[in-house]
Structure 1
Amino acid sequence: MPWIIFKLLMLFLDITHGGPTKIINGGDAVPGAHPHQVSLQWNQRPSLGLPGAAWYHICGGSAIDVNVVLTAAHCVDFGKASEFRVVVGDHRLYEYDGTEYPLQVSRIYLHEDWIPGLDYNNNVYPNDIAVLTLTMSFVNTNIIIPLDDDTDANADSDRTGQNCIISGWGLNDTNSDIVNTLQDRNMTVLSQTECEQYWGEGGYIFRGHICVFDGPDGTTGGSACNGDSGGPLVCQGKLAGVTSWGREGCRMPNTGDFMPSVYARVSHYRAWIEMTLGRLSGSTGRG
């Protein structure tokens, strides 16, 4: 299932405990280590017919242009642009660090072939990617991260075997305690074949996916989890993936073992991203 907590459950967690938690077996990120990382937040009050704003972290995202964020389609396919904002420079979600500032989302561009929850052609959640434009530009454009194109002279064509970094504010376990500090962890990129072997050969993984995994062991392994959706996978300084889906509960229920975390492969969607960036002056996005 996609890694986004069901909306009402997320609200319950935020209201009763103070917010979602972190990557499983990650560690506290060094402040400023992932400047491209944003917190995507949703104002649930309009959906309840209530005035005002009550913002809740639901997903991550990455700054890819002066006023553009890349995230997962399933993070934003249920609401209007006016119901979302991104917070740049955040480190501790529920404390003020003096580095964060919010920016309103102006338009949402979902991938045209994203259909929520549909499993077609034996692929799970293909095209889970979206571009968000913001009402204002970033104060510091140095936070923009370059997109992976698989042409790096030091990179294999699909980054198999490379050590890459995931980050986010998602759950640190299936039934986790709550912390609010941005987490990160180094993970190893699997080949498409290896990832298929874990998820079911020919059934789940296609060329638009990139998987990371450090083995099934519940102590030494790790995983992205609910609340990390839309966030970055970074390989050699480039945005290589957008957190998409994984095992429901983020572990195997009986053993506590991990399964690979699955991301939308940025290099596969780079042409679509660039085409979308080229048409931002139009009105094709969803307001």
Structure 2
Amino acid sequence: MSPSWLVYLSACLICCLVATTTVRGLPLQEDQDAKIDIPDGRIVGGYVTDIAQCPYQISLRYKGITTPQNAYSHRCGGSIISSNEVLTAAHCVIGTVPSQYKVVAGSNYRTGSDGVITSVKEIIMHEGYFSGAAYNNDVALLILDPPLPLNNFTIKAIQLASEPPLPGAISKISGWGTTSSGGTASDVLLAVDVPIVSNEVCNQDYEDFGDETYQITKEMLCAGKRGVGGADACQGDSGGPLVVRDQLYGVVSWGNRCALADYPGVYANVAELRSWIDVNRPAL
């Protein structure tokens, strides 16, 4: 092989390596090439908890419409807000139909049939999802039938926040997502405690991320250990709860990979989206 060809091949190899190492983590999508997309997140840097400590937490189980022979498998988290309503992320359910889901409540486990299993009767997705900014208005209501048997112990509705949390407030995030970006999902329920980060600071952190569509809007809030990292939601946690003082303040939405020191996790801001939630809830 001539020296000129060796130089050419070396240059191509270097370009390929640079391209590979500079690709950014896509927000809360576990496998962009998979036929069945599992939206993000698992808990990173957390601890094993018990469903009695997070009785509002559910596992949203999914199967493809073209694979009815398959079992339902964990796709996202969600929060019980009444006996027949779950709040989750819009990106968990976009392009799907209710019959593709089961909701499992009162269980510590990502797989299996313990706990209470019910069906999704209706999906009400925010009509403004992704408008104005990437992952904006990332919420959806799931209407359940039959209703969940609330017992105030392992299956309990959580109160919705009406005001955004203060920066520095400690939030609790829970779920069965991966323990590292692109890693393995947890079989047992995990939780992690992280401080709220102001939208102004979070927007500065994401200033160089992606394109101009990735910005922190008032319909979002952020949480993470800035400058430290190591604690966050991750793939498989999407749609799950961010809780402060026993109220639901956030819905796991997106972020740059998981638990990076320079990029807090981003959540749908329940207080800002409260009016949409209340208007779209069916009469109880």
TM-score (norm 1): 0.79
Q: Is the 8 A contact 1:22 1:180 kept in 2?
A: no
Name which of 92, 112, 121 aligns with 2:127. 112
Which of 147, 168, 175 is the matching residue for 1:168? 175
- Structure 1 residue 197: deviation in Å? 1.3
Map 1:54-65 → 2, pairs under 5 A: 54-65=71-82
- CA separation of 1:178 and 1:276: change in aligned 2, threshold 3 A: closer
- Unmatched tracts of structure 1, length 5 or more: 14-19, 151-156, 281-287
Cα distance in 2 between the residues matched to 1:222 and 1:278: 36
Residues 244 and 159 (structure 1 numbering): CA distance in 2 closer, same or farther, change over 3 Å?
same
Does residue 215 (structure 1) correspond to residue 194 (structure 2)? The answer is no
Structure 2 residue 57 is matched with structure 1 residue 37: yes
Structure 1 residue 149 corresponds to structure 2 residue 162: yes
Partner SS state of residue 32, structure 1: helix
Structure 1 residues 26 and 74, CA, compared in 2 at 3 Å: closer, same or farther? same
Change in Cα spacing, 1:112 to 1:175, as seen in structure 2 (3 Å) is closer
Residue 128 of structure 1 pairs with residue 128 of structure 2: no
Letter in 2 for 1:260: P
Tell me the SS of whatever aligns to 1:269.
Answer: helix
SS of corresponding position for 2:191: strand
Structure 1, residues 227-257: CA drift from partner, whole Å, max 9, x if none? 000000001110000001011x3256xxxx4
Percent identical pairs in the alignment equals 32
How does 1:1-287 map onto structure 2 within 5 Å? 1-6=26-31, 9=34, 22-44=42-64, 46-48=65-67, 51-95=68-112, 98=114, 100-115=115-130, 121=132, 123-140=133-150, 142=152, 143-150=156-163, 158-200=165-207, 204-218=215-229, 221-247=230-256, 249-250=257-258, 257=261, 259-278=263-282
TM-score, length of structure 2 as denominator length: 0.80
- Computing the radius of gyration over CA atoms, which structure comes out larger, 1 or 2? 2
Offset at residue 53 of structure 1 (A): 4.4
Q: Is the 8 A contact 1:59 1:228 kept in 2?
A: yes
TM-aligned CA distance change 1:145 to 1:178, over 3 Å: closer
Runs of 4+ in 1 over 4 A off after TM superposition: 7-13
How big is the shift at 1:77?
0.8
Q: CA RMSD in A?
A: 2.6
Deviations 1:174-212 (A, max 9, x none): 242453011101110011111111111885101110100
Q: CA deviation at 1:159?
A: 2.1
For 1:204, the aligned partner's letter is: Q
Aligned AA (1:5): E
